[in-house]
Amino acid sequence: MKEEEPTSGNIIINGKDTTFLKKNRVPYLRRSMGIVFQDFRLLPDKTVYENVAFAMYIVKASPRHIRRQVPMVLSLVGLSGKAKMYPNELSGGEQQRVALARALVNNPSMLIADEPTGNLDPDTAWDIMMLLNEINMRGTTVIVATHAKDIVDRMKKRVIQINKGNIVRDDKKGGYDSEV
């Protein structure tokens, strides 16, 4: 957040106007959200457990809280048995699940996923989308940026289409093919 500034309007996150947020306050804003990147951005020299725990270490969580939270979130994403493995020992789908676990471990109110299925086969991509849907059903706001028309159509969720920085469509029914 705050990598780009708006040319007009305001950005409201969690009820706070962040448009003129001072640079030293940005890290605190980012702590309220989790981000999942298309290329996973895992630390190759750390295990699955350590990759997820790292996000908690950054926000100065207690070792006790880390020991409790990391296994819980690994279970949520279906990776309980992979905690001691390294990223290069995992499939693409498993790596994406680690990235998702890392984004979730601090209980963010918002999860932003940038092309979370871009590097995955269709079945694994659908599994990731179902996991994101489950996370949303548990109360986390989930925003997915994607070009995957087939997934958007199957999800039947709200679609906001942006073209050259302008919102050109906001469809609460979901899908590319639905009427505006």
What secondary structure letter does DSSP report for 157?
-
50 within some domain: yes
78 within some domain: yes
Pairing of strands 110-114, 33-36: parallel
45 within some domain: yes
- CATH code where residue 77 lies: 3.40.50.300
Asked if the model's pLDDT at residue 177 lies above 70, the reply is no
102 within some domain: yes
- Could you give the C-alpha distances from 33 to 1, 30, 174, in angstroms and in order? 9, 5, 23
For all residues of the chain together, what is the average pLDDT?
89
Q: Identify the domain containing residue 132 by its residue range.
A: 31-146
If one counts the domains in the chain, the total is 1
14 within some domain: no
- Could you give the C-alpha distances from 43 to 3, 46, 55, 90, 150, in angstroms and in order? 22, 6, 11, 13, 31
pLDDT tens across 2-59, in order? 677 888 888 888 888 888 888 888 888 878 899 998 888 999 999 999 999 999 999 9
Amino acid at 20: F
Give me the residues paired with residue 114 across strands.
145
> Which has the closest alpha carbon to 100: 67, 68, 133?
133
Asked if the model's pLDDT at residue 178 lies above 60, the reply is no
> Which has the closest alpha carbon to 90: 109, 68, 74?
74
d(CA 153, CA 176): 6
164 within some domain: no
141 within some domain: yes
Asked if the model's pLDDT at residue 179 lies above 50, the reply is no
39 within some domain: yes
SS3 assignment, position 140:
coil
